[in-house]
């Protein structure tokens, strides 16, 4: 897994090259967009939504279930994101979308999704397969961006921001690994409580998933300001097994920043410590990818400290085997 994380910038370069060669058709009328996918395949949709939510002219819904929302129709663009192409929830949604004549575009490395895309002549972008889906967020996210650009719902500037992101991660490579090593030591044996300040909840979700899968540990995440209306009330008992990790970007709203400033002393009172992580870069994409890459390294270093295999997901494989019996 560390080798895969190490090659993240190369993956982003390869992903941009794939995107530049993609052939995406012009769509008919699109009134809404659904991105369907789960786990390492689905997180790209969550990140994408936050990248364009202040500029996209139609609503984007992130779907992580077996079923297509009832409103989906011929004026809906469904973007199917499945790394393997065989995610059963995603394939079921795709089949339902076909029956309802929804417009479809796919990002996958193969499997049933690619088969259906070719059979029905849907737009698709094929990405390299053979690795854990969570290690290929660069491939999937860049293709999701490309589809939105091609369909007229995202600015081409995002690809220029991608180039800047690659430069930033290359420049900060050793600093990121040094910071990640220190944070991993602080988080080892702790239950991480992950917060973001509204702008980048997807980064928090990604970090939670990486702690779950790579570090083989439980944690939870929430987001400001919503947590101020519920979870904050739960901070009433000292628990030195908790460490708070917060993600900050330059796009965080000033009122939300003030909320965090008020809440931080509360976290410090009851948790072991609070670790504030600040993004580098200028654009949203640069800052998101910086935080994602740092979080990936942290999860791998925790696995190293614990002496466990960051790649294996035996319990998920067991679940799939049991489900295959029905």
Active site residues: 213, 229, 320
Q: Please, which residues have CB within 8 angstroms of residue 156's CB and are 6 or more apart in sequence?
A: 149
Q: Please, which residues have CB within 8 angstroms of residue 161's CB and are 6 or more apart in sequence?
A: 283, 284, 285, 286
Closest by alpha carbon to 37, among 191, 269, 279, 202? 202
Distance, CA of 54 to CA of 307 (rounded, Å)? 43
Sheet of 32-36: strand order equals 60-63, 32-36, 76-82, 103-108, 123-126
DSSP for residue 268: H
Give me the phi and psi of 268, to 5 degrees please.
-65, -30
- Is residue 115 exposed (0-12), middle (13-18) or buried (19+ Cβ within 10 Å)? middle
Distance, CA of 197 to CA of 85 (rounded, Å)? 33
Give counts: helices (H), strands (E), the chain. 12, 9
Identify the three-state secondary structure at position 247.
Answer: strand
State the alpha helices, DSSP H only, in 152-253.
Answer: 157-171, 173-187, 201-213
Closest by alpha carbon to 44, among 120, 121, 117, 125? 125
């Amino acid at each position: 897994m560390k080798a895969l994380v190490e090659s993240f910038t190369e993956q982003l370069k390869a992903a941009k090259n794939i995107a530049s060669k993609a052939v995406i058709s012009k769509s008919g009328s699109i009134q809404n967009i659904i991105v369907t996918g789960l786990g390492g395949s689905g997180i790209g949709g969550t990140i994408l939504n936050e990248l364009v939510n202040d500029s996209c002219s139609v609503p984007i819904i992130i779907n992580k279930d077996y079923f297509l929302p009832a409103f989906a129709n011929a004026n809906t663009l469904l973007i199917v994101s499945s790394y393997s192409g065989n995610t059963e929830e995603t394939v079921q949604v795709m089949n339902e979308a076909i029956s309802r004549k929804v417009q479809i575009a796919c990002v996958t490395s193969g499997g049933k999704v690619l088969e259906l895309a070719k059979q029905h002549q849907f737009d698709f972008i094929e990405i390299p397969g053979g690795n854990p889906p969570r290690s290929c967020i660069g491939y999937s996210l860049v293709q999701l961006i490309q589809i939105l650009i091609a369909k007229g719902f995202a600015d081409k500037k995002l690809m220029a921001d991608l180039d800047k992101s690659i430069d930033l991660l290359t420049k900060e490579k050793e600093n990121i690994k040094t910071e990640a090593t220190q944070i991993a030591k602080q988080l080892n044996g702790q239950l991480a409580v992950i917060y973001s300040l509204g702008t980048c909840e997807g980064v928090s979700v990604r970090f939670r998933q990486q702690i779950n899968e790579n570090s083989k540990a439980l944690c939870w995440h929430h987001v400001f300001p919503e947590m101020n209306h519920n979870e904050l009330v739960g901070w009433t008992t000292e628990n030195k097994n908790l460490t708070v990790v917060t993600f900050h970007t330059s796009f965080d709203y000033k009122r939300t920043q003030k909320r965090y400033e008020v809440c931080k002393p509360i976290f410090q009172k009851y948790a072991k410590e609070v670790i504030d992580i600040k993004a580098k870069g200028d654009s949203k994409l640069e800052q998101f990818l910086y935080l994602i890459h740092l979080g990936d390294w942290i999860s791998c270093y925790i696995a190293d400290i614990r002496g466990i295999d960051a790649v294996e997901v035996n319990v998920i494989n067991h679940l799939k085997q049991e489900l295959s019996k029905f």
